Amino acid sequence: MTQGQRIRVLYDETAIARRNAEMADAIAQAKPHNLLVVAVLKGSFMFAADLIRALHRVGMKPQVEFVHLSSYREATVSSGQVEILRDVQSDVRDRDVLLVDDILESGRTLAFAKDLLMARGARRVMCAVLLEKPGKRAVQIEADFVGFECPDLFVIGYGMDVAHSYRELPFVGVVETEAEGARAAGA
């Protein structure tokens, strides 16, 4: 962060923990069969870990896997083509799968992963996202479980980054200049 910038918190630790518990309850009510949680790397790692622990607290015992997908690679703008950088190792046939991702925006990555798992014989593929940016879809997909509807801002923290920084923050926020912060506060 440069001088004159600050981080404004959008969703704090308490709000995130509360939504994770609520989503875990809703997922349990969906009565998943032989649940496999698949976390989409890298941005979802903190959300996935906390959601999996919340699932444990409501009596669920999911298995856990990871998939690493990219439509960016070295670029800062999506190519629109999704590549598999790390694939799921487990057999998904006749299982319910919960895809866990940080943000549902264009939907390309999540739709790709969902279609891939369904083609491999998953019984049902549900999607849980921490943040949803409505009005940004490039493909037809909806999340089954949404933490928060997010304004159209570039967010950081809670696993999400800019240039590999800020993933460690325990909240979701935005980097803004002090002048932007003063305007947002009504000064």
115-148 pLDDT, tens digit each: 999 999 999 999 999 999 988 899 999 999 999 9
Number of domains in the chain: 1
- The answer to the question of residue 94 being in a domain is yes
Query: Do 13 and 86 meet the contact criterion of CB atoms below 8 Å apart?
Result: no
| Residue 76 DSSP class | S
Q: Give the contacts of 131 (CB within 8 A, at least 6 positions apart).
A: 102, 103, 104, 146, 147, 148, 149, 150, 155, 172
User: Where does the pLDDT of residue 151 fall: very low under 50, low under 70, confident under 90, or very high at 90 and above?
Assistant: very high
Q: Assess if residue 187 is contained within a domain.
A: no
Is 45 in contact with 67 (CB distance < 8 Å)?
A: no
pLDDT of residue 181: 56
- Centroid of chain to Cα 49: 11
Write the CATH number for 73.
Answer: 3.40.50.2020
Domain range enclosing 128: 13-152
Is 170 among the domain residues?
Answer: no
- Find the mean pLDDT for residues 159-185: 84
Token duo for residue 142: 């909806």
